[in-house]
Chains A and B, each alone.
Chain A
Amino acid sequence: MQFMLLFSRQGKLRLQKWYVPLSDKEKKKITRELVQTVLARKPKMCSFLEWRDLKIVYKRYASLYFCCAIEDQDNELITLEIIHRYVELLDKYFGSVCELDIIFNFEKAYFILDEFLLGGEVQETSKKNVLKAIEQADLLQEVKKVIFKNKSFVT
């Protein structure tokens, strides 16, 4: 995987993870272009598209779009499930996750992603193991999460 972007229906970028070296300018350009392209697509359209020399796999969860760029030989369907597994992880951690959780606990969203994907490849697919790692860290932190209730976007 080359990068993963989370953005809202209004086109606001909520999370970005780049697995290839790019300049800030390029990142901004790519983000702008992709957000536009993906938001312009209709609901029933297929989740994959060709973009430059990459394949884009995206899925919408409530108000958030999850969008991954993969290479030619990568598997589209399993990437779709990478997205879903990530959403499940967020959901389990925050309990019914919503966009605001990701905005205001952005660091957690990044930490969970790092436990799940590293260098653009799946590191650990077991939900239990990923969350165990994160919760261990929370124990060290001795902190309670503030979670936004009743706005689940996992359907």
Chain B
Amino acid sequence: LPARERNGMRFNCLFPAFSSPGKSKEAEIKRINKELANIRSKFKGDKALDGYSKKKYVCKLLFIFLLGHDIDFGHMEAVNLLSSNKYTEKQIGYLFISVLVNSNSELIRLINNAIKNDLASRNPTFMCLALHCIANVGSREMGEAFAADIPRILVAGDSMDSVKQSAALCLLRLYKASPDLVPMGEWTARVVHLLNDQHMGVVTAAVSLITCLCKKNPDDFKTCISLAVSRLSRIVSSASTDLQDYTYYFVPAPWLSVKLLRLLQCYPPPEDAAVKGRLVECLETVLNKAQEPPKSKKVQHSNAKNAILFETISLIIHYDSEPNLLVRACNQLGQFLQHRETNLRYLALESMCTLASSEFSHEAVKTHIDTVINALKTERDVSVRQRAADLLYAMCDRSNAKQIVSEMLRYLETADYAIREEIVLKVAILAEKYAVDYSWYVDTILNLIRIAGDYVSEEVWYRVLQIVTNRDDVQGYAAKTVFEALQAPACHENMVKVGGYILGEFGNLIAGDPRSSPPVQFSLLHSKFHLCSVATRALLLSTYIKFINLFPETKATIQGVLRAGSQLRNADVELQQRAVEYLTLSSVASTDVLATVLEEMPPFPERESSILAKLKRKKGPGAGSALDDGRRDPSSNDINGGVEPTPSTVVSPRGWAIGAWGPPGATPSHLLLRTPSELGCREPPGGRLLRRPSYQGGNGDSSPPPPPRFVCKNNGVLFENQLLQIGVKSEFRQNLGRMYLFYGNKTSVQFQNFSPTVVHPGDLQTHILPLAVQTKRVAAQVDGGAQVQQVLNIECLRDFLTPPLLSVRFRYGGAPQSLTLKLPVTINKFFQPTEMAAQDFFQRWKQLSLPQQEAQKIFKANHPMDAEVTKAKLLGFGSALLDNVDPNPENFVGAGIIQTKALQVGCLLRLEPNAQAQMYRLTLRTSKEPVSRHLCELLAQQF
């Protein structure tokens, strides 16, 4: 056999094309197609193949697949190999299955059967093969078939060590893919005790599993803390040869140490003083060892040792409670900043970023500013320079902002194109956040445009306009500076935009100087006009009409420009329309009207800087506290106050003037960030002046409506995202209600400043509150995995249409979060069912016969038309169901009274299903017109 093996299984013999490089791609493909045809014919042939040949051909198919060619057959032969009792045949079968995963259900059944047999075989090598296959495929089907068995294998007393190791990691993979399939139970406690196992390999595998499981079930695994600490302590204090084969280049068990340190980062510092003491001792030992001379010159030694060191520092930062250790960590990283290994410099810069956000080490990090600036200038690898820029951003505060901003600006001139936009965003944020005087801020942003105009996104230049508009102490300076900047022979189009906007608003502030008199300002801007894009030209046209208002003496010149054929007959419809409209406006409107229409922009409502939001988007969530504006820096008393997000529902009465500014095109190009919903208008921003302002919509309706399912139900999950789940339970009696809200923290991190508040927008016309809602405060911190409850007492004073809003704000990992939801409180909750006889019903029905008392809706069924379900929904809605009233037994008739403190509203309803047409007709009659319509709307969406 060996001879045959050698000739049969070696591919260089089978595929000489691959071992001789000179051959062309075509030759390779030809050779492969021939081989595939050959294998196909063997598989299809009449003669049954023996196990050896099957293995050979399956192995060839795998080889061809791994060369990058598609394989669409051979799965069945591979599955056959699984039931072979020859180890190698089985092994190749499993490899094929794990590499070429197939979703054919019949195959999956066969595969699962084979795996089941091997798991039950008590042959450890077969069991391991089966476990490896499950771990490699990791599909949901495998999870469904095996997730329940594997915990048993893992903790069984008679399982071999190698089987335990594979079982632990197999379970980990299944849990990651489908956590719902892995049942927690009595086995979890025994898994934790694997941390004490004699066999280091078993411990290594078990730590990974526990680290993953404990994130969702921290309490179930809490006992792992002390076990992990004592294991770690034994490793850290062992001599470099104690652990024999688990010592790696004189470092005892580096992988296990890193994993144990990682596991501890899933928990807060140990509560038990003895455990904590022992742990702190470990951490100190690691820090001390870093100062010892290396035991080997090999890079593997220093890498393994430093891997543990960096993980130790991560844990110290995670605890953020030991000032002494934090400062030592910072000093250690400081040494690495100048290390000759690029890898270490990179990691030190990265790690220091997180240290910068701790109040204990922020100052210590700042002492390295010169080294970091030097790294920014001299590092040859762009990814290292980027880390340096990140760190400068993280260590910035008021004391060093000017230095850091100027260094970053200088760096921007030579920076890699790939990271320019990010640097621009960071400079813009720092300049705004730490501006002591706004002239510096304006200078910085204009410098940004000058140096890297192409990378200055809309968010950045919108923001400078916002700030200048909101602060009158800087407007004159801004006008003067942009005027000067525009005098450069070549300036970036973004500069023209900013200049056009600022001069149009505040050009009058510098008009007294003959060097910047109105005609000079106008001709300066207009000299750029022809070089600009349509969007910018549209903006400049708006500047011109604003000039006519600011400087009547420019009117004739500007009208001349607007009247020119190149404007009035411009091929671009937006420009043409602006020219026509502005020309007409300037000729027909009186000075007063012109002054009103073209008045200076109102201040913008303060809100989170959109630049910050953009940076977060770029970096993804959880980008670390370096990006968190609200860092624990006592001196960061933001002068703009622009960092706390505020509800952006303020409607500016003069909002439509913005229309004059908005360049045409897509929504984002609408100047100054006022999106249509914020303005309360649902039309796209046309950006044209002569358009009726539209105030439909009232408040920016950004909160989702309460799910319609709560209309007929009082309990359920109101909201859920990755961080937070809000459950609701409520009961109503007459005009009173009590609601319990349950806020569950789904993460392992504490929420801070947690504050849910309830507001009722009330009736916009009358300002009378229809609901009185009392809330109890809840704790400001919600621990990871914990749930807090809030009770609301609700009294319905009068009928209402809009539900109260629940606004929840908190900080997660330093980043402010906020959401607004509509509470499931609708008018029908205060329904009192009323039983009455058919005669009474008809009498009352007739009494409510005024057209406005009735609301009717005919609509298509969205759900199957089931009479029992319909009944349940109507009862859930709150009305009584009256039998024997409607002559047609298919129809439903109901009656009830809505109880409010001020008045009672009698309601009658009739629902006529038409099963053939799959339609309903719903009729509501109540003594109050809006209530009829509202109830009709609410109920109609239930079917």
A residues whose Cβ falls under 8 Å from a Cβ of B: 13, 15-16, 19, 21, 42, 44-50, 53, 72-73, 75-78, 80-82, 84-85, 100, 103-104, 106-107, 110-111, 114, 118-129, 133, 136-137, 140-144, 146
Q: Find out whether the CB atom of A77 lies under 8 angstroms from the CB atom of B306.
A: yes
Partner of B59 from the list A13, A19, A107, A141 (CB cut-off 8 Å) is A107
Report Cα–Cα, A144/B2, bound state, in Å. Answer: 7
Q: Find out whether the CB atom of B304 lies under 8 angstroms from the CB atom of A77.
A: yes
Report Cα–Cα, A86/B68, bound state, in Å. Answer: 23
Complex contacts, B303 vs chain A, CB 8 Å: 77-78, 80-81, 84
Complex contacts, B383 vs chain A, CB 8 Å: 45-46, 48-50
Using CB atoms, name the residue of chain A closest to B172: A119
State whether the Cβ of B132 lies closer than 8 Å to any Cβ in chain A.
Answer: yes
Complex contacts, B92 vs chain A, CB 8 Å: 107
Q: Among B105-113, B253-261, B725-733, B847-855, which stretch is in contact with chain A?
A: B253-261
Q: Find out whether the CB atom of B343 lies under 8 angstroms from the CB atom of A46.
A: yes
Interface of B (DSSP majority class): helix
A113 smallest CB distance to B (angstroms): 10
Complex contacts, B139 vs chain A, CB 8 Å: 21
State whether the Cβ of B26 lies closer than 8 Å to any Cβ in chain A.
Answer: no
A44 smallest CB distance to B (angstroms): 7
Partner of A81 from the list B18, B248, B384 (CB cut-off 8 Å) is B248
B931 smallest CB distance to A (angstroms): 51
State whether the Cβ of B943 lies closer than 8 Å to any Cβ in chain A.
Answer: no
Report Cα–Cα, A73/B749, bound state, in Å. Answer: 15
Q: Find out whether the CB atom of B262 lies under 8 angstroms from the CB atom of A73.
A: yes
Q: Find out whether the CB atom of A142 lies under 8 angstroms from the CB atom of B380.
A: no
Q: Find out whether the CB atom of A84 lies under 8 angstroms from the CB atom of B300.
A: yes
Complex contacts, A75 vs chain B, CB 8 Å: 258, 262, 307, 310-311
Complex contacts, B311 vs chain A, CB 8 Å: 75, 78
Report Cα–Cα, A100/B125, bound state, in Å. Answer: 28
Q: Among B161-169, B698-706, B778-786, which stretch is in contact with chain A?
A: B161-169
Using CB atoms, name the residue of chain A closest to B256: A125
Report Cα–Cα, A118/B131, bound state, in Å. Answer: 10
Complex contacts, B205 vs chain A, CB 8 Å: 118, 121-124
Using CB atoms, name the residue of chain A closest to B137: A21
State whether the Cβ of B355 lies closer than 8 Å to any Cβ in chain A.
Answer: no
Q: Find out whether the CB atom of B62 lies under 8 angstroms from the CB atom of A118.
A: no
Report Cα–Cα, A16/B897, bound state, in Å. Answer: 69
State whether the Cβ of B440 lies closer than 8 Å to any Cβ in chain A.
Answer: no
B residues whose Cβ falls under 8 Å from a Cβ of A: 1-2, 5-6, 10-12, 18-19, 59, 62-63, 66, 68, 86-88, 91-92, 95, 99, 125, 128, 131-132, 135-136, 138-139, 162, 165-166, 169-170, 172-173, 176-177, 200-201, 204-205, 208, 245-246, 248, 253-256, 258-259, 262, 265, 300, 303-304, 306-307, 310-311, 342-343, 345-347, 380-381, 383-384, 386, 620, 622
- 5 A-B pairs with least C-beta separation: A119-B173, A77-B307, A78-B307, A118-B169, A121-B208
A145 smallest CB distance to B (angstroms): 10
Complex contacts, B347 vs chain A, CB 8 Å: 48, 76-77
- Besides A42-B381, A44-B381, A133-B162, 19 new A-B residue pairs in contact (Cβ under 8 A), listed by A number: A15-B66, A42-B380, A75-B311, A76-B307, A76-B343, A78-B254, A106-B66, A107-B95, A110-B99, A118-B205, A119-B169, A121-B169, A123-B165, A123-B169, A124-B201, A125-B201, A137-B88, A140-B86, A140-B87
Provide 24 A-B residue pairs closer than 8 Å at the C-beta atoms, listed in order of the A residue: A13-B66, A15-B66, A42-B381, A45-B380, A46-B343, A49-B383, A72-B622, A81-B248, A84-B300, A118-B132, A118-B135, A118-B169, A120-B173, A123-B169, A124-B201, A124-B204, A125-B204, A125-B246, A125-B255, A126-B246, A140-B86, A140-B125, A142-B1, A144-B5
Complex contacts, A48 vs chain B, CB 8 Å: 343, 346-347, 383
A54 smallest CB distance to B (angstroms): 11
Report Cα–Cα, A13/B125, bound state, in Å. Answer: 30
Partner of B342 from the list A46, A114, A129, A141 (CB cut-off 8 Å) is A46
Q: Find out whether the CB atom of B208 lies under 8 angstroms from the CB atom of A122.
A: yes
Using CB atoms, name the residue of chain A closest to B298: A84
Complex contacts, A100 vs chain B, CB 8 Å: 19
Using CB atoms, name the residue of chain A closest to B136: A114
Q: A46-B342, A125-B248 are in contact. Are A137 and B125 (CB under 8 A)?
A: yes
Q: A48-B346, A122-B255 are in contact. Are A77 and B310 (CB under 8 A)?
A: yes
Report Cα–Cα, A106/B67, bound state, in Å. Answer: 11
Q: A118-B135, A125-B246 are in contact. Are A45 and B304 (CB under 8 A)?
A: no
Complex contacts, B304 vs chain A, CB 8 Å: 77-78, 81
Q: Which of A42, A48, A72, A75 has the most CB of B within 10 A?
A: A75
Q: Find out whether the CB atom of B200 lies under 8 angstroms from the CB atom of A53.
A: no
A108 smallest CB distance to B (angstroms): 10
B380 smallest CB distance to A (angstroms): 7
Q: A118-B135, A119-B138 are in contact. Are A46 and B204 (CB under 8 A)?
A: no
Using CB atoms, name the residue of chain A closest to B381: A45
Report Cα–Cα, A81/B303, bound state, in Å. Answer: 7
Using CB atoms, name the residue of chain A closest to B246: A126
Q: A81-B248, A106-B66, A126-B201 are in contact. Are A119 and B2 (CB under 8 A)?
A: no
Partner of B381 from the list A16, A46, A78, A142 (CB cut-off 8 Å) is A46
Complex contacts, B380 vs chain A, CB 8 Å: 42, 44-45
Complex contacts, A137 vs chain B, CB 8 Å: 87-88, 91, 125
Q: Find out whether the CB atom of A140 lies under 8 angstroms from the CB atom of B88.
A: yes
Complex contacts, A76 vs chain B, CB 8 Å: 307, 310, 343, 347
Report Cα–Cα, A16/B101, bound state, in Å. Answer: 14
Q: A13-B68, A53-B620 are in contact. Are A123 and B204 (CB under 8 A)?
A: yes
